[in-house]
Amino acid sequence: MALESYDTLYRKYPAMLSEHVGKILDDQRTVMAAIADAETKRALGTLADAVSKTSERVAVRLVEASRWLSLGGAGFAFTAFGALCVFVGFVLGSGRLPYGAGVAAGQGPLMMIFSAVARTPAGWIAAAGGGAAAIAAAWRARDDLKAGRRLGLLAGCVVAFSRPVRRSFSPL
């Protein structure tokens, strides 16, 4: 009878162990799911912060590049306008072209005025300032330019940095 009692008791243990292990596994699954959910939310929050900070840095760098190009363009325009005003004042006051305003054959009056203004010290300053601003803008946006983006900025830099240079300086 004692052995029969032990036999009955030992036959219940696998079912009891299986039931207890099942409860433990269910509890572990619930805990692991909660941990995974919390870690996923934390990782997504960290990723969102990193993306936000990176995009902000990129935007600030590109705005600085555009600002440099705009400042260079404005400086070039103001200096060139001042040089044009001095050129026109000299022509109106003296009745002749200034020294260094060489006229080439087949050159129109606007191109003659532009080349004469470009040869003055104010023209050199305008070209140097515009070129420096273009270089600064290209430097600020170098990563995007390497990636093939912001090609409009690159075109603006090339236009700001280039100016027609004539090699002959023949006075009138």
pLDDT tens readout for residues 136-165: 877 777 777 777 777 776 676 676 556 544
Q: How far is CA 28 from CA 21, 24, 53, 73, in A?
A: 10, 6, 37, 67
- pLDDT score for 161: 58
Answer for the pair 160, 134: CB distance below 8 angstroms, yes or no: yes
**pTM of this prediction?**
0.52
- Asked whether residue 171 carries a pLDDT value surpassing 70, the answer given is no
pLDDT tens readout for residues 7-58: 777 788 888 888 888 899 999 999 999 998 988 888 888 888 888 888 888 7
- Find how far residue 115's CA is from the centre of its chain: 34
Answer for the pair 134, 72: CB distance below 8 angstroms, yes or no: yes
Listed in sequence order, the residues at least 6 apart from 160 whose beta carbon sits closer than 8 Å to its beta carbon are: 69, 72, 73, 76, 130, 131, 133, 134
Listed in sequence order, the residues at least 6 apart from 115 whose beta carbon sits closer than 8 Å to its beta carbon are: 101, 102, 107, 164, 166
> DSSP character for 165?
-
pLDDT tens readout for residues 91-142: 888 888 777 666 666 777 777 777 777 777 787 788 787 778 778 877 777 7
Q: Which of 167, 165, 163 is nearest to 76 (CA)?
A: 163
Q: Which residues of 53-79 are buried (b: 16+ CB within 10 A; e: fewer)?
A: eeeeeeeeebeebbebbeebbebbeeb
